Amino acid sequence: MIGFGQSNLQLGERVYFKNFSNAQGVDISFKEPKDWQKGNESFSSDKNNLVLSYLNVSEFLMLQLYISKTPFGKMERNEVEKTLNSKEFLNSYIKKKYGGDSGYKLDNATLTYINGYPFIQVLAESYNVQYQVNWITFIEDKMINIVCVSLKENFVDVFPFYKKLKESIILK
């Protein structure tokens, strides 16, 4: 296993995505990874909803922000919290998104709060090569999906950095 010194992975300046064309007016920001390449290439089947992608080529790391219309209609914050707290919803949604032939092997899906806002945290293996954490939530009629990826064997070492990124997220 390759170990990453956490000093190699740092957060830089805060980036505000509200005015990005693909952000669809969602007021979200976080501290971007320092010295990572920015791009517009989606590595997901959801190519049309990518707001921005960050790559760390030397350590095979990726961060992507997706914002799309929800399949559930407009929800207020209290409805989002109630929905994400529902075991039935969580099981159904996760099975649909990460089950079957999706290429994912789900490890864990739990409710977490980021800046006081409810998110689903999903830990999953993808195609036997990479491991990722997704933070997914709904705001009004939008779905936000923040995807952080590394090689499977390095994820445990990289996850503390992704948690720092998570702690920098502000959603208004």
At 5 the pLDDT is: 45
The answer to whether residue 52 sits within a structural domain is yes
Banded model confidence at residue 115, pLDDT cuts 50, 70, 90: very high
Is pLDDT of 2 > 50? no
**How many domains would you assign to the chain?**
1
At 6 the pLDDT is: 45
Range of the domain at 71: 7-171
What's the pTM value of the predicted model, to 2 decimals? Answer: 0.90
User: What's the DSSP call for residue 141?
Assistant: T
Report how far residue 165's alpha carbon sits from residue 31's, in angstroms, rounded to the nearest whole number: 7
Quickly tell me which residue has 């929905």 as its tokens: 83
Report how far residue 64's alpha carbon sits from residue 44's, in angstroms, rounded to the nearest whole number: 9
Mean pLDDT of 5-13: 78
At 73 the pLDDT is: 87
At 47 the pLDDT is: 75
126-149 pLDDT tens trace: 878 999 999 999 999 999 999 999
At 157 the pLDDT is: 94
SS (H, E, C) 94-138: HHHHHCCCCCEEEEEEEEEEECCEEEEEEEEEECCCEEEEEEEEE
Is pLDDT of 72 > 60? yes
At 122 the pLDDT is: 95
51-67 pLDDT tens trace: 999 999 999 999 999 99
The answer to whether residue 1 sits within a structural domain is no
**How distant is the alpha carbon of residue 50 from its chain centre?**
11
Identify the CATH number of the domain in which residue 58 sits. Answer: 3.40.1000.10
The answer to whether residue 2 sits within a structural domain is no
Mean pLDDT of 73-90: 92
- Dihedral of CA 90/92/96/99: which sign? positive
